[in-house]
Amino acid sequence: MPSLTGVVVLMAALCGGGWGWYLGTKRLYRRSVFKDDSEARGTRGWRRRLRQRYLMTALYALLGALVVFALMSLTRR
């Protein structure tokens, strides 16, 4: 993989990961005003939301890298 493609794919992965982390963290601290989720406030709910944050970060980073790599390989022909 040429260095320019590698750098652009890495930047896209970092941006996608940052966006996934932002979305995962946003959902981590948001609580409903109208609904009393006592189970969601416990340790089990907190760990579940942490896993979701890490999973979203990894998925968004992978998706960003794949999309940019596909676009660059299509346009370089």
Q: Is the pTM of this model over 0.85?
A: no
Q: What is the pLDDT of residues 36-52, one digit of tens each?
A: 555 556 677 778 888 88
Task: For residue 42, give every residue at least 6 positions away whose Cβ sits within 8 Å of its Cβ, in sequence order, or none.
Answer: none
Of residues 57 and 46, which shows the higher confidence score? Answer: 57
- CB count within 10 Å of CB 68 equals 19
- Number of domains the chain is built from: 1
Task: Show the CA angle centred on residue 44, arms to residues 42 and 48, nearest 5°.
Answer: 120
Range of the domain at 13: 3-75
